[in-house]
Amino acid sequence: MLLIKKINLYEIHLPLKEPFTISSGTQDVRRVTLVEVEDADGIAGWGECVAPEYPNYSPETIDTAWFALINWIVPRILGKSFSGPEEIFPYLQQDIRGHLMAKASVEMASWELTARKQNVSLSKLLNGTREVIETGISLGIQKTPGDLVRKVQKAVDDGYKKIKVKIKPGADIDYVRSVREQLGDNVPLMVDANNAYTLADIDVFKTMDDFGLIMIEQPLAWDDLLRHVELQKQLKTPICLDESITGIERVEDMHKLGSGRIVNIKPGRVGGFTSSIAIHDYCNEHNIPVWCGGMLESGVGRAHNVALASLPNFTIPGDISPSKRYWEKDIVNPEWEMSDGVITVPREKAGMGVEVDRERVEELVVRQQKMEV
Ligand code: OSB
Ligand code: MG
């Protein structure tokens, strides 16, 4: 039984070590929403809302999520009893359209709470099986191809097992070609366009097709499935969808239409763990590889991604880098660390496996909202 009596929201500002640029904008301070849920026995679980500051990834932002949480989502959850956390997502889907990142933050915190209550790790509660997960890195758009080559070289030296390069028109072919020419064909490389292209740019991708990329992530519009079919037909390189996949139905569409061959699962984007597991299982049955994406999460959201990525069909390294890649100091103890290109899944600790550093949260908090029944 799951009965949530209190929900606390905290907005913290966490400066990135270096600005992160994608085709639709640059971020230098991460505005993070943390969600703490507490049940009738006073046991707490943590979640993170991954919505960014601007609607340049999906329509959601930190401020729309905050509004949705305090007005619709939290009031619906507080004081309602569920037999388990898997009931939360379908309940939140009833007559509230969208706001998936806001919904996911409470849903995932409820799974974390449940894991703590059952004295089991979040990984095990989700039926994860991996002891370690392979680590990838996502590199923002650099000023010059030479800068990118240096970043990729460092990532290879650091042991990352997949290197993702952000691209946009004007920072694509020359950048990737430089990496291949200077670092060779063995670098496990992929690109992510974050919707920056249209079918009129087909020649860019036909050129990229010869670079031996693991995949091309979300080349076309954020809500498109049909135009990606056209593009995928003309390429050998698999297309991976990120923004377009908002739930299991969109994965079915992708598979039936042929819009892509790989799925990036971000639990925040699809409404939480229940939805992520449904996508994972469908993809497993249909031989579609999946991997766990990232949204520049703090140590809390990262913990949830690590637990999810421990499921068996997460066969491609995720965008789950260690804390030090993003922050001078994370908000959890211990921080997330990588060695030999893997992160160890904390399978023997109850819950997400790290503890929130409340003092650090107090230092960084800019607004909070506490609600209870
Ligand atoms: O498209 O995967 C993306 C960050 C913000 C918004 C969108 C994306 C990303 C990343 C970062 O690629 C991955 C990470 O968290 O390291
Ligand atoms: Mg992406």
CA 2–ligand 1 middle distance (angstroms): 32
Domains assigned to the chain: 2-119+355-372 (3.30.390.10), 124-344 (3.20.20.120)
Q: For residue 272, which of 127, 128, 86 has the smallest C-alpha distance?
A: 86
pLDDT at 162: 98
Q: Is 75 helix (H, G, I), strand (E, B) or coil?
A: helix
The pLDDT confidence band at residue 66, using thresholds 50, 70 and 90, is very high
Distance, CA of 163 to CA of 134 (rounded, Å):
12
Q: Mean pLDDT over residues 111-125, rounded?
A: 98
Which ligand 1 atom sits nearest the alpha carbon of residue 27?
Answer: 5
CA 319–ligand 2 middle distance (angstroms): 9
CA 231–ligand 2 middle distance (angstroms): 17
pLDDT at 152: 98
Q: Mean pLDDT over residues 177-184, rounded?
A: 98
* Angle (CA) 329 334 339, round 5°: 90
Q: Is 265 helix (H, G, I), strand (E, B) or coil?
A: strand
Give nearest CA residue, ligand 1 atom 12.
138
pTM value? 0.98
The pLDDT confidence band at residue 62, using thresholds 50, 70 and 90, is very high
Distance, CA of 61 to CA of 194 (rounded, Å):
16
Q: Mean pLDDT over residues 64-83, rounded?
A: 98
The pLDDT confidence band at residue 281, using thresholds 50, 70 and 90, is very high
* Angle (CA) 12 336 88, round 5°: 65
- 21 CB less than 6 Å from ligand 1? no
Strand order across the 189-192 sheet: 136-139, 162-166, 189-192, 216-217, 239-241, 262-265, 290-292
Which ligand 1 atom sits nearest the alpha carbon of residue 320?
Answer: 16
pLDDT at 265: 98
- 112 CB less than 6 Å from ligand 1? no
pLDDT at 337: 98
What ligand is nearest to the CA atom of residue 241? 2
Which ligand 1 atom sits nearest the alpha carbon of residue 217?
Answer: 1
Tokens of 132: 């370690």
* Catalytic residue numbers, as ranges: 166, 266
The pLDDT confidence band at residue 124, using thresholds 50, 70 and 90, is very high
Q: Mean pLDDT over residues 313-326, rounded?
A: 98
The pLDDT confidence band at residue 305, using thresholds 50, 70 and 90, is very high
